[in-house]
Structure 1
Amino acid sequence: MGKARVVAAVAALALLSGCTSVVEGTARGERPDPTKVAGLEITNGASGPREGVPDADLRVENADGGDMDRLAINTLADVQEYWTAELPAQFDGKTFEPVKRLVSYDSTGKGVEVCKTDTTGVANAFYCSLDDSITWDRGDLLPMLNDSFGPLAVVTVLAHEMGHAVQYKLGPASGITQATPSIVKEQQADCYAGTFFRWMAEGKAKHFEISTGPGLNKVLTTMFFIRDQAGTSFEKQGAHGSAFDRVSAFQFGFARGARRCADIDEAEIEARITERKFEPADTDKGQGRGNAKVDDDKFLRALENSLRNAYKTSGATFPAINRDGAGSCSDAEPTTPATYCPATNQVGLDLPGLVRIGTPPKKGQKGGIGDFAAFAVIASRFSLSIQKATGFKLDDEAAGQRTACLTGAWAGEANKPTAELRLSPGDLDEAVSELLADDSLIAADVNGATVPSGFARVEAFGDGFFGGSSTCVRKYNR
């Protein structure tokens, strides 16, 4: 083949693809604190419904009074309380009127007619501007989200749907018209959900609380779960975005507020969005469409070339890559499945371990993540040599963030059409998956100590992806 290509396609559930509603991508400019999440202290406390708080009293059509309906009602009561205060504060006194109609149904039973749709067998949640309604499936969707990720997954989905209601109620101030592509609407709604979770993280929600450590990580994992399937075009009607796109939009809202969400428009989407269709070169190489064998020599050579190209202006002496492991190192702890030794300026690889990460799971079976996750782990260790050459410490509090950022900068270079080792649909989602893991090496220092917040890890990676290596050196220079 003329050009080696990193390819990846983690199987995705195309959930919530039917939501209904009539740039720059870098984080804030100030120097970040690695002990905080968008200015908030990293906490590890309770996340979920508050104990001892009476349930909200909202009128819901077709409700059964069960746990899922109570969870939905408490969510919507809190979200509407938030927007009642936030909308006029952020949009020149614009009044927020509560959603006129709330509808519950069981997709496993008899359907109801709402928004000119029969809900029989439809596991979904959606906002409809025709009658200003929010509708949810208490029979299948909400229990699945709750069982898989906890009650805040349900809150995430319904806060997103309320984001569509905000668009409708803002009118022209939202920048949304009937002709606006669905990806713009969905990215705005994810962003608005992020603003609500910021309010919750500040302890202001009546029925829910969230830690900015594990709790927020679970929410971002939910965003990963409800991403579009790899290979979806952002131009497709109903497109919501890749996991990387959706998490990025959520983070914009969480860190910068509702005005940032309203600024998302077609121009920004064209410049920032990563979701795209598979190309002819994204073939199935025996690992599922778009996934290469991580230990294949041609891909490892292409990876090393791409890393050297991404950091060619750094002036660093690039490390040797040892495929037989790291060996002993006098000034750093070993990390697995890839390690960097400053004393020898060498990256050692545990190829069987990398293959385990790089082999995507098959349907109904356990597996790793995908090839890009494995390649990004190698890139993270390679980037430590750049930090060493630039004079940064490799084991201070900011080292993990710099590592994530520089790995993102390499990914940004690999996203260019001329790249020798080019990203394929789903690759960045694999990075999000690895970054949200408790032991993420992509956002770890030379000894494997990872940034404590998954939110901060993904944010730093995004800074590098959108802003390049210079952003990493400038921003993460504590």
Structure 2
Amino acid sequence: MVAAVAVLGLLSACTQQIAGVARTERPDVSKVAGLDITTGESGPKPGVPDADLRVENGDGGEMDRLSTNALADVEEYWSEQFPKQFGTRFESVKRLVSYDSNGAGVEICRTNTKGVANAFYCSLDDSIAWDRGELLPMLDDMFGPMSVVTVLAHEMGHAVQYKLGDKGGITQATPSIVKEQQADCYAGNFFRWVAEGKSAHFRISTGPGLNQILSTMFFIRDAAGTSAEKQGAHGSAFDRVAAFQFGFAGDPKRCAQIDPDEIRSRITQEVFDPNERDLGFGKGNLPVNDRKSLDLLESSLRDAYKQSGATPPALKVGESSCPDAQPTSPASYCPATNEISVDMPELVKIGTPPKRGQKGGIGDFAAFAEIASRFALSIQKATGYALEGPAAGLRTACLTGAWAGTTTKEGVQLRLSSGDLDEAVAELLADKSLIAADVNGTVVPSGFARVEAFRDGFFEGSGLCTRKYSG
């Protein structure tokens, strides 16, 4: 998880200021895109017969059964939706091919699959193929069986594009980032159908279940520093999760509307600035325990919220007692004293990016956003908002996103860099996400809602946060 927050005189990577679409509807904090937040089982339904689809080169094992059932349900969904949404019949994918990337290669789509740990759709012969040997077992081990369903629903999204042709707005010249964002969106359409209980083989909760899906999207993101204009670009985690959420909350027509103009207006994926130096913490990452870094962060937060007229909180390192709030890690806000106290060892754990093959935290932006969330609570207190409950948690996430949005502007000393927003996604999906927690550390149960609130603030600013998440 490489990331960066750039400091004046040291680093200079940044993203463009991005326009969004204002949304002022007030959400029900007990729901996800209109559905109740549920915490039940997610995965294959017990006692359901396996789908009867012809799979080439399969071994009949667990991964192939999971893949076959997933594709059968995804095809059922699109068989229903094509006539409703696009006035045409959905033609089933002609070939389903299983292979083991660690075994003998198979020729598919003019490619030999030996060593290819992947899943893909090929328009040349209208086929979907998957690696049962390495990729799917790895996803299943890391995120559970619904991660496998996620990948195959995405690949079926590419089949949808091919079968829609001009109706889906896709041509040979369409940039790959547009195709991939559409496919993520179409996967979101399908998972809404699953969440509504309509899938024959699968079930998913809108709380922990969707969190696992979004974590899968994070895992299969493009690496930080990858250009969105690169052939084969799929998108950052922030962008991929956004597309999935558009599909989950909308219908297939919304996904078909994703085009180059929309991508240019909201995509956040950027290359690293060539002048950005590696300070020894991964490219762009700052040492979060450096006093200069904290001073720059504090200045950035004061500037971001200065229009509120609120007295900024004091930022102190070390423990402090508080009579009216519980301590939270790695940063706590005390309303009585208007003070933020930072547990530096815990902040360093979060702010230290992992090295290849080793466990680690997330990165500097995730750590700084934890402090920013407590700063946002002080602004809410000063402007008369409650600091406890789910609405406070979502408002905090939104205001933290609004601060992040200000770090994209020219001339600021602390600036967003490639990979930073992916760090935010990683932290927001954590079980104890402080970015979307109230003053006592109570976290909004839906990672989906947390990320959406942060994205609202990032694109639309703090004004939307207080309107939409007023409680």
Gaps of 5+ in 1: 9-22
- Hey, what does 1:67 align to over in structure 2? 62
- Hey, what does 1:55 align to over in structure 2? 50
Are the equivalent residues in 2 in contact too, given 1:4–1:302 (CA < 8 A)?
A: no
**Backbone CA RMSD of aligned residues:** 1.6
For the structure 1 residues 146 and 311, does the alpha-carbon distance in structure 2 shift closer, same or farther, using more than 3 Å as the test? same
Whether 1:232 aligns to 2:244 is no
Moved more, 421-430 or 200-209: 421-430
Shift of 1:396: 3.0
Distance 1:25 1:123 in 2: 36
- Hey, what does 2:216 align to over in structure 1? 222
- Hey, what does 2:3 align to over in structure 1? none
Distance 2:413 2:40 in 1: 45
Shift of 1:324: 3.1
Shift of 1:419: 2.6
- Hey, what does 1:438 align to over in structure 2? 431
Q: Deviations over 1:304-351 (max 9, x none)?
A: 1111111121121111111233x1212211111101111111111111
Amino acid at match of 2:175: P
- Hey, what does 1:342 align to over in structure 2? 335
Q: Deviations over 1:14-35 (max 9, x none)?
A: xxxxxxxxx9756864211111
Whether 1:324 aligns to 2:318 is yes
Are the equivalent residues in 1 in contact too, given 2:105–2:114 (CA < 8 A)?
A: yes
Distance 1:418 1:251 in 2: 32
Distance 2:302 2:10 in 1: 15
- Hey, what does 1:34 align to over in structure 2? 29
Distance 2:140 2:237 in 1: 19
Shift of 1:5: 5.1
For the structure 1 residues 71 and 172, does the alpha-carbon distance in structure 2 shift closer, same or farther, using more than 3 Å as the test? same
- Hey, what does 1:262 align to over in structure 2? 256
- Hey, what does 2:4 align to over in structure 1? none
Amino acid at match of 1:68: M
Distance 1:379 1:193 in 2: 32
3-state DSSP class of the match of 2:53?
A: coil
Shift of 1:280: 2.7
Shift of 1:265: 1.0
Moved more, 399-408 or 347-356: 347-356
- Hey, what does 1:394 align to over in structure 2? 387
Q: Deviations over 1:175-213 (max 9, x none)?
A: 111111100100110010011001000110000000111
- TM-score under structure 2 length normalisation: 0.95
Are the equivalent residues in 2 in contact too, given 1:4–1:420 (CA < 8 A)?
A: no
Are the equivalent residues in 2 in contact too, given 1:6–1:291 (CA < 8 A)?
A: no
Alignment of 1:133-148 (within 5 A): 133-148=127-142
- Hey, what does 1:451 align to over in structure 2? 444
3-state DSSP class of the match of 1:458?
A: helix
- Hey, what does 1:471 align to over in structure 2? 464
Are the equivalent residues in 1 in contact too, given 2:24–2:467 (CA < 8 A)?
A: no
Distance 1:357 1:95 in 2: 50
Amino acid at match of 1:296: D
Give 1:372's match in structure 2, choosing from 365, 388, 391. Answer: 365
Gaps of 5+ in 2: 1-6
Are the equivalent residues in 2 in contact too, given 1:146–1:152 (CA < 8 A)?
A: yes
Distance 1:153 1:168 in 2: 23
Number of residues of Structure 1 aligned to a counterpart in Structure 2: 462
Amino acid at match of 2:90: F
- Hey, what does 2:150 align to over in structure 1? 156
Amino acid at match of 2:337: T
Are the equivalent residues in 2 in contact too, given 1:4–1:298 (CA < 8 A)?
A: no
- TM-score under structure 1 length normalisation: 0.94
Give 1:351's match in structure 2, choosing from 336, 340, 344. Answer: 344
Amino acid at match of 1:237: Q
Distance 1:183 1:260 in 2: 16
